[in-house]
Every structure is written in structure tokens, then in C-alpha cells.
């Protein structure tokens, strides 16, 4: 497994709850991290010319290409939405759909997890705020960190010790 990421994609877009945001636009920063199995892509890298020549086979991605991720994000950022949550969910759906295909009657998803953070720079609030953001995590990115798991294990252990005393 590997993390493939694009950080700091800059977009001028027209997302926002207020009508003036849909007219004047706002600057956004977008970060996308995907965890993908790269083994098949790495194995076929040396055979790329042979794969390219065989045009009769169904074409589907062997790897998660960050240029494709960028183009999918760019496409979604062009669609005006009132909520950043909608934009982030749409980006996630597009990326998952593109990198999922059927082979031999079996669905294959190249993406095992994704984290997307969309920052609206200088949101129109009554004070100076650098950014507001929405972050979405799916798959392996939803799992708690090792540090959180240790804390949870200690809490459970302490609780069991307390129960033994009662």
C-alpha cells in the first residue's frame, strides 16, 4: 500500500452559501490523499510497452494517477455548490468511481481509503479568519491512530481494574 497525494491545489471557485460568493468567487486550497495498492502497477511498469500495444483488452487503470486525480478535482471545483461538504463528497465519489472497475465479474477498487481537505481562504466572516475547511476521511484513513488506540487500551485496563475493586 502507498499514499498518493496532491497537496495545495489552488482553485478560484464559486462555492458558498451567500449569493455574492457565487458571483465574486473565493480562493480554495484542496489536499487529496489516497491509499492505494501499487503492487500491480509496480510489477507492470517494466512491461508498460507491452500493455500499451495490447489494445484489445479492456482499458482500466493499473494505478492511481495523480494527474487524473487533479483533473477529477478540477472538474468538481467548477461546479458551484452552497456547501463545502457537498464539494468534498462529490470529489470523493468521482475519484472512487474512476478508480473502481469490474474484472471477471468482480468489482476491483484501487483506492483503499481517502482523505480530502478543502479550505476556503479568507471566508466572509465578521473578523479575520485565515480559512474554514471541511475534511472527509474514508477507508483506512478512518482508523484511529496508534496513539489513540493505546489511550483506549489503557482506559479499558483501568476500568477493568476498577471493576475488580468493586
pLDDT at 47: 53
The predicted pLDDT at position 8 comes to: 97
Instruction: Give whichever of 22-31, 38-47, 100-109 has the largest mean pLDDT.
Output: 22-31
Helix (H) or strand (E) holding 40: helix 39-45
Tell me the per-residue pLDDT of 127-141, one tens digit each, with 9 for 90 and over.
999 999 999 999 877
Separation between Cα atoms, residue 1 and residue 84, nearest integer Å = 29
Question: Which of the given ranges, 27-36, 38-47, 94-103, 156-165, has the highest pLDDT on average?
Answer: 27-36
pLDDT in tens, 63-83: 788 999 999 999 999 999 999
Q: What is the value of pTM for the model shown?
A: 0.76
For the segment 140-156, the average pLDDT, to the nearest whole number, is 74
Radius of gyration of the chain from its Cα atoms, rounded to whole angstroms:
21
Measured between alpha carbons, how far apart are the two ends of the chain, in Å?
46
Domain boundaries, the chain: 2-165
For 2-165, the fitting CATH number among 3.30.1130.10, 3.90.1150.10, 1.10.10.10, 3.90.180.10 is: 3.30.1130.10
DSSP character string of 58-118: PP--SS--HHHHHHHHHHHHTS--S-HHHHHHHHHHHHHHHTEEEETTEEEESEEEEEEEE
DSSP code for 164: H
Q: What is the pLDDT of residue 116?
A: 97
Amino acid at each position: 500500500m502507498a499514499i498518493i497525494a496532491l497537496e495545495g491545489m489552488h482553485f478560484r471557485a464559486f462555492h458558498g452559501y451567500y449569493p455574492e460568493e457565487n458571483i465574486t468567487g473565493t480562493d480554495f486550497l484542496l489536499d487529496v490523499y489516497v491509499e492505494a495498492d501499487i503492487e500491480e502497477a509496480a510489477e507492470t511498469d517494466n512491461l508498460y510497452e507491452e500493455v500499451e500495444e495490447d489494445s484489445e483488452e479492456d482499458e482500466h487503470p493499473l494505478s492511481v494517477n495523480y494527474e487524473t486525480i487533479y483533473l477529477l478535482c478540477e472538474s468538481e471545483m467548477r461546479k458551484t455548490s452552497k456547501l463545502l461538504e457537498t464539494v468534498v463528497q462529490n470529489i470523493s465519489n468521482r475519484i472512487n468511481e474512476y478508480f473502481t472497475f469490474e474484472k471477471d465479474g468482480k468489482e476491483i477498487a484501487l483506492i483503499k481509503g481517502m482523505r480530502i481537505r478543502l479550505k476556503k481562504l479568507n471566508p466572509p466572516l465578521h473578523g479575520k479568519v485565515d480559512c474554514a475547511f471541511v475534511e472527509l476521511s474514508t477507508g483506512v484513513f478512518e482508523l484511529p491512530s496508534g496513539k489513540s488506540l493505546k489511550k483506549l487500551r489503557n482506559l479499558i485496563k483501568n476500568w477493568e481494574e476498577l471493576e475488580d475493586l468493586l
